[in-house]
Structure 1
Amino acid sequence: MFRIGEAAELLGVSTDTVRRWVDAGRLAATRDAQGHRVLDGVDLAAFVRAAAAAPEEHAELSSARNRLRGIVTAVVKDTVMAQVDIQAGPFRVVSLMSREAVDDLGLEVGAIAVAVIKSTTVVVERPSAAKGRTGT
């Protein structure tokens, strides 16, 4: 079970946003022994999957499923390459690309951008469950 604040942190939104979703019935919540609203992890995961599956306006077709929408916070260009920093919720994504691509996309500080991530290897960890343990 996740408290409202924990769910908000995981989703990269404010606690008020999660409360509004609960009040509107978009997320199911129950009360714990102390009377705090809590969300079931399975329900939270289903909500995230459904939100991710919803088609974005002007989205292009792609085999990549990891799309992080955010705001460009920095652009550093040299003559050939550029570094673009995007803040997507609680995540900072840094991309190295050609200067030409940055110019063609009109990427500048304050612009909205979507980082599309496609990887052959993803490592998943659980911060508290993995302490002191190793294994396969």
Structure 2
Amino acid sequence: MSSPDGTSSPRYRVSQAADLLGVSDDTLRRWIDAGTFPTETDDAGRAVVAGDALAVVARDLAEKAPHPEDPSGVGRSARNRFVGLVTAITADTVMAQVELQCGPHRVVSLMSSEAVRELDLRVGSLAVAVVKATTVIVETPRSTA
């Protein structure tokens, strides 16, 4: 497949594609064998997945996946919410670093020590990281091979 500028989409080996989707190689191979996941063959004869096809599947999986319910029940304009467990708190008298494990993602927040006390945050507490930022930095690896 081609991108809007006419260049072809990057290709990923099955193991790379499975990692990016958060599934096992075996699961992805079953999808391929069932004909529900398109592949191509690279110059070495290996099955590869086009990045744009992979992106469609990744988005579909994310939309269908069950997400932990936000326990606050509060409506917000921020769309990036990560429900998780507090895994570490490093605090002094003024500031604290709070780490959450939200599924496979580690989220780190700096806040006042007073906020940690007011929220009664402790290791093992259920918490929701709400991210609303005007800047998100996107990086790419030097090579996808």
TM range (shorter): 0.5 to 0.7
Task: Work out which of the residue numbers 34, 39, 47 in structure 2 matches 1:30.
Answer: 39
**Max radius of gyration: which structure?**
2
Tell me, what secondary structure is at the counterpart of 1:93?
strand
Cα RMSD (Å) of the superposition?
3.6
In structure 2, the partner of 1:117 is 131
Q: Show CA shifts across 1:49-108 (max 9, x none).
A: 2233346242355433334455543222345543212345665421123213541xx541
State the one-letter code of the partner of 1:108: V
Aligned mates of 1:28, 1:2 — CA distance in 2: 13
Distance 2:133 2:35 in 1: 31
Q: Percent identity?
A: 41
Q: Any idea what SS the aligned residue of 2:58 has?
A: helix
Q: Which residue of 2 aligns with 1:134?
A: none
2:69 corresponds to which letter in structure 1? H
Structure 2 unaligned regions, length at least 5 = 1-10
Partner of 1:132: none
Aligned-pair distance for 1:120? Answer: 0.5
Q: How many residues align?
A: 123
List runs of 5+ in structure 1 lacking aligned partners: 130-136
User: Structure 1 residues 94, 26: CA separation in 2 closer, same or farther (over 3 Å shift)?
Assistant: farther
| 1:42–1:90 CA distance, 2 compared to 1 (3 A) | same
TM-score, normalised via structure 2 length: 0.57
Match for 1:45: what amino acid? A
